[in-house]
Amino acid sequence: GAVVSQHPSRVICKSGTSVKIECRSLDFQATTMFWYRQFPKKSLMLMATSNEGSKATYEQGVEKDKFLINHASLTLSTLTVTSAHPEDSSFYICSARHRATNEKLFFGSGTQLSVL
Amino acid sequence: GENVEQHPSTLSVQEGDSAVIKCTYSDSASNYFPWYKQELGKGPQLIIDIRSNVGEKKDQRIAVTLNKTAKHFSLHITETQPEDSAVYFCAASRAAGNEKLTFGTGTRLTIIP
């Protein structure tokens, strides 16, 4: 149980294009989903927090118009990197807080984004 | 906000020996402390967690201890195996709803066969 599916696992795109990353909680409902960014050999940096049906809350310094988050249901959240540039290249990871326990956070397998 | 410090940043241990990773936190209101294992190119995997009303928790070869007064908690791995090699992250939060996890900086554990 408690599986979070994230797709795609790897994406290469041209500068200026948009990329959508999906995050699904497969066997549980998530009260809250979180999106992180991770640079090589670094810790996870929280980008935004989202709840189903409401606007995401972005961390300071994260551009909400660049990183669009949609939380359509209790099991699905998407992150769209708009007009991607090489500096957006990174490992993006989603996580979902289990509704039943309201504390345990489970992570997806991550998406490696490379912008050429 | 919460600040979590983690030590050491790298740790090499002979197979079969024990490994200990330590974290400190700053927010006395934090009450949930999970540990994650991350392998290369993958997302973090929850391996054990502890709440502030418990001082110690064990799951087979893994144990976590918490000292609320000193605001530090530790991960103990006994009888280490090569598959324990990974990056380990501690985290802290006020467990509930939208409360975010604050992560430590990670420890790269290498088990030497």
**pLDDT value of residue B96:** 61
> Where residue B109 falls among pLDDT bands split at 50, 70, 90?
very high
Between B62 and A28, residue with greater pLDDT:
B62
pLDDT of B71 over the 90 cut? yes
pLDDT tens per residue, range A65-87:
999 999 888 899 999 999 999 99
Chain A residues within 8 A of B93 when measuring between CB atoms: 103
Among A4, A35, A43, pick the best mutation site for testing chain B contact (most B Cβ within 10 A). A43
Half-sphere exposure of B61 (CA within 13 A, CB side): 12
Among A97, A98, A102, A113, pick the best mutation site for testing chain B contact (most B Cβ within 10 A). A97
Q: How far apart are CA B77 and CA B61, in angstroms?
A: 6
**pLDDT value of residue A1:** 65
Contact at CB, B100 and A49, closer than 8 angstroms: yes
pLDDT of B33 over the 80 cut? yes
Q: Which helix (H) or strand (E) holds B19?
A: strand B19-25
The overall average pLDDT reported for chain B is 94
DSSP state string for B80-111: --GGG-EEEEEEEB--STTPPPEE---EEEEE
Q: How far apart are CA A100 and CA A71, in angstroms?
A: 19
- Rounded mean pLDDT, B76-102: 90
pLDDT of B9 over the 70 cut? yes
> Where residue A90 falls among pLDDT bands split at 50, 70, 90?
very high
- Rounded mean pLDDT, B62-87: 97
Closest to A78 in 3D by CA, of A89, A68, A63: A68
pLDDT tens per residue, range A3-53:
999 999 999 999 999 999 999 999 888 878 999 999 988 999 999 999 888
Secondary structure class of A12 (helix, strand, coil)? strand
**pLDDT value of residue B95:** 67
- Name the residue in chain A with its Cα closest to that of B87: A41
Across A10-24, A32-46, A92-106, B5-19, least confident range: A92-106
pLDDT of A101 over the 80 cut? no
Chain A residues within 8 A of B106 when measuring between CB atoms: 41-43
* Closest CA of chain A from B55, distance in Å: 18
Secondary structure class of A105 (helix, strand, coil)? strand
A78 touches chain B (CB under 8 A): no
Furthest C-alpha separation in chain A? 41
What number of C-beta contacts closer than 8 Å exist between A and B? Answer: 57
